[in-house]
Amino acid sequence: MQPSSSNSLAQYALVTGNYWAFTLTDGALRMLVVLHFYSLGYDAFSIALMFLFYELFGVVTNLLGGYFGAWVGLNRIMNIGLGLQIVALCMLLVSPHMLTVAWVMAAQALSGIAKDLNKMSAKSAVKLLVPSNQSTSLYRAVALLTGSKNTLKGVGFFMGGALLGSVGFTSSILIMVASLSIVWLFSLVLLKTDLGRHKHKPNIALLLSKSVAINRLSGARLCLFAARDVWFVVALPVYLAQQLSWEHWQVSSFLAMWVIGYGLVQIMAPVLTQKPHQKTLTHTLILAHKSAFKWQSMLSVIPVFIAYGLYMQWQASVVLILGLGVFGIVFAVNSSLHSYLILAMSTKDKVAMDVGFYYMANACGRLLGTVLSGFVFLQFGFIACLLLSTLLVVFAAFITYGLAKPVPINS
């Protein structure tokens, strides 16, 4: 039964607010860990290892989370994610001598599970709360959710660096635990209990039974996010601190402004990419696939230009600021297009499992990019990370090219 528009709007607001609160702590925690442990003398690869389980567990979480979301309801999955994030933050409140790489990896593993449960349930909920056959509304809703989330993630980056510089690591964690606990209690009480829940237990065999189109879109997503994280996650903040001698607050502020701008562009993506007079969902999808290929092709050249500027020893800070700005705009449009496409291509009775499978590929890309970011930077330098990014975007564009044709859609 289609929920009433007022009820759907209220639930969408709850889902979005829940997602926003989680994202603030997730972004702040990422920056706290990177900067705190770099200041303690850990190298780039050791810091990357701290996020290894964060991404690795995300792979499994997205796959199984979609199944359990269809079984017990998306609200329960979202609330479990919030609860696990609180536990992960509490794990970092131990005495400093216990904050080893292994311990932080364990805490980040729990945080990775929490983040992907929260994200998968939030994005699946959008498909269920937007009226059927309204592709424009769906695109705008997912762009708003994704873009606002990333804007707040940037605020979280800034918050992490500011908290670290002002009150220290432990006090910063305590502040986030208290804030997120309040949000969690509201979510437990107010979020609709049957959102996305199947009447019957879903068949677990359907987890890997995907259409060719969803498989290809997932493969492109993997390459796309590996291309971003291979230089952005670890290599860039360490390069800024190590080579350009930036202070913690400068690194976190710069990355925060980038992610905030990235999120704002994601919100505007429907305006930048949609064509007028699209009569059918299938027609909309064909144009969206073609648009994704075009924007990925544009994205592939940007890291090369940044690498060239650094190789020629132009003013590094100017090259990075301008290059990252252009990269962020183009990547944001790509990301919004992908987030829309997976929801539009998913069927309502399988949306949780389809989205879970898709974001499993996303987590694989982040995992690959994170590990390569630390390893390639340590062994070959920052320019090598940029060149590898270009190669990965080319792979994503090649995979997406095959989707720019009619695909069977079941609403």
CATH architecture of the domain 5-194+211-401 equals Up-down Bundle (1.20)
Whether 24 shows a pLDDT value over 70: the answer reads yes
Q: Where are the domains of the chain?
A: 5-194+211-401
C-alpha pair distances (Å), 270 with each of 103, 114, 286: 42, 29, 15
Using CA atoms, how far apart are residues 23 and 410, in angstroms rounded to an integer? 32
**25: nearest Cα among 187, 117, 157, 120:** 157
Split at pLDDT 50, 70, 90, the class of 95 is confident
pLDDT on residue 109 = 87
pLDDT on residue 395 = 93
Split at pLDDT 50, 70, 90, the class of 390 is very high
C-alpha 199: how far from chain center? 30
Q: Where are the alpha helices (DSSP H) in 134-204?
A: 135-166, 169-190
Instruction: Choose the weakest-confidence range: 75-84, 171-180, 341-350, 373-382.
Output: 341-350
Residue at token pair 């996020």: 51
Q: What are 326-377's pLDDT values in tens digits?
A: 998 999 888 888 888 887 777 766 676 777 788 888 888 988 998 898 889 9
Residues of the chain with pLDDT > 90, as a percent, come to 20
pLDDT on residue 208 = 59
Whether 406 shows a pLDDT value over 60: the answer reads no
Split at pLDDT 50, 70, 90, the class of 4 is low
Contact 143, 288 (CB under 8 A): no
Instruction: Choose the weakest-confidence range: 139-148, 333-342, 346-355, 389-398.
Output: 346-355
Split at pLDDT 50, 70, 90, the class of 67 is low
Whether 1 shows a pLDDT value over 50: the answer reads no
Contact 294, 168 (CB under 8 A): no
For the purposes of burial, counting CB atoms within 10 Å of the CB of 174, is it exposed (0-12), middle (13-18) or buried (19 or more)? middle
Split at pLDDT 50, 70, 90, the class of 7 is low
- Top-confidence range, 263-277, 294-308, 355-369: 294-308
Mean of the per-residue pLDDT values for the chain? Answer: 80
Residues 23-51 have a mean pLDDT of: 82
Instruction: Choose the weakest-confidence range: 59-73, 191-205, 253-267, 375-389.
Output: 191-205
pLDDT on residue 319 = 93
Split at pLDDT 50, 70, 90, the class of 128 is low
**18: nearest Cα among 222, 144, 184, 242:** 184
Contact 225, 366 (CB under 8 A): yes
For the purposes of burial, counting CB atoms within 10 Å of the CB of 397, is it exposed (0-12), middle (13-18) or buried (19 or more)? buried
Split at pLDDT 50, 70, 90, the class of 214 is confident
